[in-house]
Structure 1
Amino acid sequence: MNDPLGDMLTRIRNAQMRRRPTVSTPASNLRGWVLDVLASEGFIRGYTRVEQKGVTPEFEIELKYFNGQPAIRTIKRVSKPGRRVYSQVRDIPTVANGLGVSILSTPKGVMSDVRAREENVGGEILCNVF
């Protein structure tokens, strides 16, 4: 797998199209940090790390719905392995006129676009969610 984060975002997108309550994905640090931001911004209910003997650890992600509609309308990978996208703090784009969130990987950790502006730090734009 060349793009583990893109794989996780696709799993979330596909599970929400099928109205699944949960979805699992292999665990990694970057995926955990992105899930932390999604949970803090209210796009997912939460996630747990599931470890079984002899199997790679996984994250069990609890998806969020409102009136039968997914909380995440669009989730899109921006910076890909073939084309990395970086942004300075003054050039961080707003998503859906501020209704959505960009998730950035910065020198201070993975954070939302709002928090990156507060901390005055730019970085790699991982994905946009709204």
Structure 2
Amino acid sequence: MNDRISDLLARLQNGIIARKETINVPVTKGNKGVLDILKREEMINGYENDPEDVTMFRVTYMYTDGEPEVSKFVRISKPGLRKYVTAKDIKPVMNGRGISIISTSQGLMSGAVAKSKKLGGELICEIW
């Protein structure tokens, strides 16, 4: 798998569609960065190293009244077509109900954090 972020987003989306409580995703630095942001934004309960398979993270979804906190994961910048934004071009996702994830010179961060730090970068994905 060359595009590990797309793989992560597909696994997260499929887990929500199947109403899973937990899923396993590969351990990579990029995946850890995205999962850290999702945890900080309270879109997942958390993640941990899978005790049965050290090459995987076990991600626990967050549900409210049986409905998932997140419904859609959209990959914006792809390996074949990169999408870059400046700090002033970062827009709210779904009128503030979602987040964007941006790869900046200071690492992965949500769009709101990047905008407050006046950092632009590669627009990885949008989640709502």
Q: Distance in 1 between the 2:50 and 2:67 partners?
A: 27
Confirm or deny: 8 A CA contact 2:46 2:59 kept in the other structure: yes
Match of 1:83 in 2: 81
- Which among 99, 105, 108 is matched to residue 107 of structure 1? 105
Confirm or deny: 8 A CA contact 2:90 2:111 kept in the other structure: yes
Confirm or deny: 8 A CA contact 1:51 1:57 kept in the other structure: no
- Matched length: 128
TM-score between the two structures when normalised by the length of structure 1: 0.94
Aligned-CA RMSD value: 1.2
Asked whether 1:92 is paired with 2:90, we answer yes
Q: Distance in 1 between the 2:19 and 2:127 partners?
A: 18
Match of 1:124 in 2: 122
Which consecutive residues of structure 2, in runs of 5 or more, have no partner in the other structure? none
Which consecutive residues of structure 1, in runs of 5 or more, have no partner in the other structure? none
Confirm or deny: 8 A CA contact 1:84 1:124 kept in the other structure: yes
Question: What are the residue-to-residue correspondences of 1:38-53 with 2, within 5 Å?
Answer: 38-50=38-50
Q: Distance in 2 between the 1:46 and 1:82 partners?
A: 31
Q: Distance in 2 between the 1:7 and 1:125 partners?
A: 16
Match of 2:13 in 1: 13
Asked whether 1:61 is paired with 2:59, we answer yes
CA drift at 1:44: 0.4
Identity fraction in percent: 37
